[in-house]
A and B are shown apart, each in its own frame.
Chain A
Amino acid sequence: MINPYPGLPEFEYVKPASLKEASDFLHQHKNSACPFLGGTDVFVRLRDRLSRENYLVDIKRLEGLNNISYDPERGLTIGAAVNMNKVIVSPEINSHYPILVEACRSVASYQLRNRATIAGNICNASPAGDTIGACLLLDAKLSINGVNGKRVVSLQEFFIAPGETILGPGDIVTSIHFPVPRPGTQGKYVKLGRNKLSDLAIVGVTVIGYPNNDLRSGYQIKIALASVAPVPLVVNQVEELLSTSAIDENIISDAAEIAMKVSSPIDDIRASARYRKIMVRNLSQTTLQSVWTELTEHSDNLEQSIKTSRRN
């Protein structure tokens, strides 16, 4: 019987003045303290009696967590406390990483996005996380501050199981770093919910692709799936297929079939495994097709403009 509290249970609110203080406190009170940013996951869990921390550590205002910085040589850094609405309106992110904007826009509601963060989405480690696929495919790296200092971890190595990450006691994600995007990058995030908007992902498909002349097909196209495996799933076999073969509608169909076979969704109250599998195939198909169309249209334009500029 699901039986949440009427409100939040008792806990102490702790607001450390520095990252060191925060990590030390969290390490000292491992198992009874957790950090929070927007609180949209942490508070709900507490109320639902799914966890029972005595200390909530507010890390929102710590140094370096609130910046968005883009450098054309180095890439994009988003501070952990930057909320999703800020991501959505950032000119740099819109210009260079529009897939992050698209993924954020699909989350919950405008009110919740004023508190929710990409870092929080990542650390919550739900297989349904909407922004995780984009981050994985963009080769995101996490800066982590721990009791033993700072380190950088690739997002590919971050997830262990639903709700479980490599973070240890005292670890705080301070920012997410994305390398410079490859020229001609196109991407799309398609999310299937029960309502048109605001639902969790029943199935989520993120596709990113860019021209790559080192590959036989001339394109590198990657796909990540949400809600169909214990962790957000990058389907390497699809990337493999689409890099070695000349891409057409049939290859895309095959790719979608592979994605379906590799996914391992479960039956739950939101949807059945049977439906999820078929949706992986159908939505991978349409999303890959859509990105492929964008890639070819834009590369045609790119070629045209190169030819035109050569003529002049």
Chain B
Amino acid sequence: MAVEHTKPIPSPIGENKPKIDARVKSTGAAIYADDIQFGNNLLYARIKRSPHPHARILSVDTSKAATVPGVKAVVTGDDYPGYIGLYLQDRTIFCRDKVRYVGDPVAGVAAISEEIAEKALDSIKIEYELLDPVLDPEFGAGPNAPLLHPDLGHYEVANFIIPKPGTNISNHFKIRKGNVETAWKQCTAIIERKYRIPHIQHVPIEPHVAIAQVEQSGEITLWGSSQSPFAQRNLIAKALGISQSDMRVIAPYVGGGFGSKAGVSMESLAVAIAMKVPGRPIKLLLTREEEFYTAFVRQGLVSYYKMGCDESGKILAMENTFYWDAGAYTEYGVNITRASGYSSSGPYEVPNIKTDSYCVYTNHPVGGPMRGFGMPEMHAGLEQCIDELALKLQIDPVKFREINCLKTGSILVTGSKMHATGLPECLQKTAEAIRWGQDSPPSSPNKRRGKGIALMWKAPAMPPNAGSSAWIELAEDGYITVGVGGQDLGQGAFTVAAQMAAAALGVPYEWARVATPVDTRYSPYEWQTVASRLTWSMGNAIVNAAQDARRQILDIAAEAWNEDADNLDVVNGVVISYKTERELPLENLVVYGLPKDDDQGWIGGPIIGRGNFMPTYVTGLDPETGQGERAVVHYTTGAQAVDVEVDLVTGRVDVIKGAAAFDVGKAINPDLVKAQMEGGFIQGMSSALFECLQLKDGVLQNPSFVDYRIATSTDIPDEIQTIIVEVPQDDGPWGARGIGEHAMVPTIPAIANAIYAAVGVRLEGPPFTSEKIYLAMQDAGIVS
């Protein structure tokens, strides 16, 4: 199904084409969901949310709300009994009997203005019976914790998720490979550490927004800032008990996703409210404050690592326990537990490994997919332990990683074999780029300088049968339109879609358009825009569609010219014969067909190519051992290094320089790949130095930009070197695999390792704020 890699790479694959959407975005003409004009018919929704982390709902009195002038609908959980969820259906659209986190939606109002809706919310009276909350995942996993989901055993669940009913553990993933107990005895050095990674949030600059309209006939239209129109249609339809075909999702430009706009979070609320006011569109727009804690957050992690190696530095064993603070509902987060479990060796060959990864319900905001899907949280501690192990044996951390990192053919933690990988090349090039081994001088006597490095790996985490499809249509001018279901979140998915379609069909890049916005009524199915899967999966579908169109075109020309289709080609928008050198521009053929030679009739018709791609080779994993023949479709691997400076007066950490190398298989658009490496580095750096959702008794203390700090233009390093490594993926288009998430994965441990090199302190977890670093240095006697 994949394009052969032996053929020469056709244009514009590998070229830095400017983004297809850059112009419309830079003129203000790009339409995002909140920009769509709905006219006077539009109603505004606001949500009444639980102020308690854990409570039983005793009564909900909405009687006054309905009488406020301008209020058109009031909705509670009583109206919607259906469960919803991606991998585990553990939540209802509105709370019905319990609230499980501060922010949990209890009631909704639609009114002619947001102000009137707020007034109506103020009049809704809810009586709660407070329940003891679970605020720590280790405690939550234990026997004394209150039970957050007594019905866990009755929830519909995907067959690769293993919940423990009667507990707060909604997924327990295990790796049992080899024998760690005997292996410890052979280890010369062992490191045991605990790390605590706090919750953070995606902080898309565009908050979540959804507009829903339900017709009298029951048909639903949902407009939204969405990474996953098809998944949203599927999940919401199921929860409402309607047919997927009776729901339409339209997804205009997205102002940043990072995973927050995947799956279903607040969109179902808009639909539920809209059902009460048929014929009128209802808009729900989250405030920035709500964005911080009521949609998705990145779950917290308490992780225990133990790893040991022999005297030559070869890792012999690892033992990991992960307690994921997954929040009130884990319908999506259960797979993060699994993904981290089957990746728990890090990008290393480890013969003996025991992992227990627990997804734990807590009365915290809902953990969902965030760039990296568990990999940043897991690598944060793991890559520090790798450094510590190396340093214990006095082996250089780069050398230690050279010894142990995955190579082509390595045996993986799940027992599968590593495909062709450029990880060693990524490591070597990154170390070179940061000038590993040469200490940079500090910029003043009050500063200390240090370098750190970290590796990563990640596979697209998704069901084994997540599919893509595409169509290609040609117009009278010979230009092509590519239909896709994947979304451009800014990463450039539409641009590379156009590049791949043009290359596979044989037309100039400028002839390729993408059919936007993605609209489930017209766009072809795409599982979700997550997992860094589009270039690979959607790309394969596009290539198949283009080849399908090509075949149709060449068959028509072959018949019209009485030639063998094998001697024909489409080059630069022209059908040519290698045999007779006959030529015909595409525009002459793709809509009206060609006349027969004897003028007695026609051949062909409007060309429409279609293609799909779904991996068929992922096997399951044994629920007891986590072993299986093929756990995932593939891995992207890479390395990041940093050169940091620590200020001894304030404890501030400055990242002076960064370097990164990732094996992307084939960079369809190298500039876009580099842009991901840059943006991911900075987002990773921001999570390492500044970011933390400060939860106290389940209440978020800092839900605003004032006190949730992210990197600004003044915080970034002087220079980030980004290096593309290309070891082709056997079933990727021209060898391509993903990059979007991977660039954020190794940054926390790279910085942590550099801080240790500079001043000799390590913290229990990020963010490495000035205060935490200074006080750690003070406790260690480095400063007074």
State yes or no: do A and B touch (Cβ within 8 Å).
Answer: yes
Residues of chain B lying within 8 A (CB to CB) of residue A200: 706
Q: Would A7 and B771 count as touching, CB distance under 8 A?
A: no
A7–B115 touching, CB < 8 Å: yes
Is A4 in contact with chain B by the CB < 8 A criterion? yes
CB under 8 Å from chain A, chain B span 764-784: 769-771, 774-775, 778
Q: Are B712 and A2 in contact (CB under 8 A)?
A: no
Given contacts A6-B118, A7-B114, contact A192 B289 (CB under 8 A): no
A5 — which chain B residues lie within 8 A by C-beta?
Answer: 114-115, 118
| Nearest CB on B from A307, distance (A) | 33
Which residue of the partner chain, among B46, B703, B714, B775, contacts A2 with CB atoms under 8 Å?
A: B703
A282 partner residues in chain B, CB cutoff 8 A? 649-650
With a CB–CB cut-off of 8 A, which chain B residues contact A195? Answer: 690, 709, 711-712, 714-715
Segment touching A, from B84-92, B694-702, B732-740: B694-702
Which among B51, B770, B778 has the greatest number of chain A C-beta atoms within 10 A? B770
Option from A199, A278, A286 in Cβ contact (under 8 Å) with B709: A199
Asked if B771 and A272 make an inter-chain contact with CB atoms under 8 angstroms apart, the answer reads: yes
Contact between chains at B774 and A6 (CB < 8 Å): no
> Given A2-B703, A6-B118, A199-B709, is A194 in contact with B690 using a C-beta cutoff of 8 Å?
yes
Q: Is B285 an interface residue (CB 8 A)?
A: yes
- Do A197 and B702 touch across chains, with their CB atoms under 8 A apart? no
Contacts known (A197-B714, A279-B650); A6 close to B771, Cβ less than 8 A: no
* Interface SS majority for chain B: loop
Judged by a CB distance under 8 angstroms, whether B63 is at the interface is no
Most buried by A among B103, B649, B769: B649
> Once bound together, how far apart are the Cα atoms of A202 and B714, in whole Å?
18
Partner pick for B714 among A1, A10, A196, A278, CB 8 A cutoff: A196
Q: Let me know if B285 and A6 touch, CB within 8 A.
A: yes
Return chain A residues, CB-CB under 8 Å to B289: 2-4
Contact with B along A235-273 (1 / 0, CB 8 A): 000000000000000000000000000000000011110
Assess whether B246 is interfacial by the CB under 8 Å rule: no
One of B114, B649, B650, B769 near A6 (C-beta < 8 A):
B114
Residues of A near B778 (CB, < 8 A) are 278
Alpha-carbon distance A9/B113, docked complex (angstroms)? 12
Minimum Cβ distance to chain A for residue B654 (Å): 8
Contact A198 B649 (CB under 8 A): no
Q: Which residues of A contact B700 (CB under 8 A)?
A: 1-2
- If A5-B118, A200-B706 touch, whether A275 touches B714 (CB-CB below 8 Å) is no
Closest to B50 in A: A1
B286 → A minimal CB distance (Å): 9
| Contact residues of B between 91 and 126, Cβ < 8 Å to A | 102-103, 114-115, 118
Contact of A270 among B49, B704, B707 (CB under 8 A): B707
Instruction: Identify which of B285, B650, B709 gathers the most chain A CB atoms within 10 Å of its CB.
Output: B650
B647-675 contacts to A, CB under 8 A, are: 649-650
In B355-389, the 8 Å CB interface with A consists of none
Question: When the two chains form their complex, are residues A194 and B770 in contact, meaning their CB atoms are under 8 A apart?
Answer: yes
- Closest residue to B711 on the A side, CB-wise? A195
Cα–Cα distance between A143 and B774 once the two chains are bound (Å): 43
Taking CB as reference atom, which chain B residue is nearest A198?
B712
Which residue from B704, B714, B770 sits with its C-beta under 8 Å from A198? B714
Chain A minimum-CB-distance residue to B774: A275
List chain B residues, Cβ under 8 A from A99: none
CA distance A197 to B652 in the complex (A): 13
Is A283's beta carbon under 8 Å from chain B? yes
CA of A279 to CA of B287, assembled, Å = 35
**CB pair B46 A6 closer than 8 Å:** yes
A61: interface (CB < 8 Å): no
Is the beta-carbon distance between B287 and A6 smaller than 8 angstroms? yes
Inter-chain CA distance A174–B280, complex, in Å, is 51
- Judge if A274 is at the interface, Cβ distance under 8 Å: yes
**Chain A residues closer than 8 Å to B774, beta-carbon distance:** 275, 278-279
Contact of A194 among B103, B649, B709 (CB under 8 A): B709
A177-222 contacts to B (CB < 8 Å): 192, 194-200, 202
Q: How far apart sit A202 and B49, CA to CA, in the bound complex (Å)?
A: 32
Contacts of A198 in B (CB 8 A): 712, 714
In A266-312, the 8 Å CB interface with B consists of 269-272, 274-275, 278-279, 282-283, 286
Q: B690: which A residues are within 8 A, CB to CB? A: 194-195
Instruction: For residue A266, give the distance in angstroms from its CB to the closest CB of chain B.
Output: 14
Q: Chain B residues with Cβ under 8 A from A270's Cβ?
A: 707
Is there an interface contact between B287 and A1, defined as CB atoms closer than 8 Å? no
Q: Note all chain A residues with C-beta closer than 8 A to B650.
A: 192, 279, 282-283
Residues 582 to 612 of chain B near chain A (Cβ within 8 Å): none
Bound state CA distance, A214 and B700, in angstroms? 55
Q: Is B706 touching A275 in the complex (CB atoms < 8 A)?
A: no
For the complex, give the distance between the alpha carbons of A271 and B652 in Å.
13
Distance to closest chain A CB from B443 (angstroms): 14
Task: Check A269 against B694 for contact (C-beta < 8 Å).
Answer: yes
Closest residue of chain A to B701, judged by CB? A269
Residues in B neighbouring A4, C-beta threshold 8 A: 287, 289
Distance (Å) between the CB of B269 and the closest chain A CB? 15
* Residues of chain B with a CB closer than 8 A to A272's CB: 771, 775
The CA-CA distance from A146 to B706 in the complex, in Å, is 34
Residues from chain A with Cβ under 8 Å of B704 in the complex: 2
Q: Mark B674-713, 1 if CB is under 8 A from A, else 0.
A: 0000000000000000100010000111111011010110
Q: In the bound complex, how far is the Cα of B769 from the Cα of A279, in angstroms?
A: 14
Contact B775 A283 (CB under 8 A): no
Query: Closest residue of chain A to B648, judged by CB?
Result: A282
Distance in angstroms between the alpha carbons of A283 and B707 in the assembled complex: 22
For window 92-117 of A, CB contacts with B under 8 Å fall at none
Q: Can you give 5 contacting A-B residue pairs, CB < 8 Å?
A: A7-B114, A9-B115, A269-B694, A269-B701, A275-B771
Known A195-B714, A272-B771, A275-B771; 8 more pairs at CB < 8 Å: A1-B51, A1-B102, A4-B287, A5-B114, A194-B770, A195-B711, A198-B712, A269-B702
- Of all A-B residue pairs in the complex, the 9 with the closest CB atoms, nearest first, are A275-B771, A196-B714, A197-B714, A1-B51, A6-B114, A194-B709, A282-B649, A269-B701, A6-B287
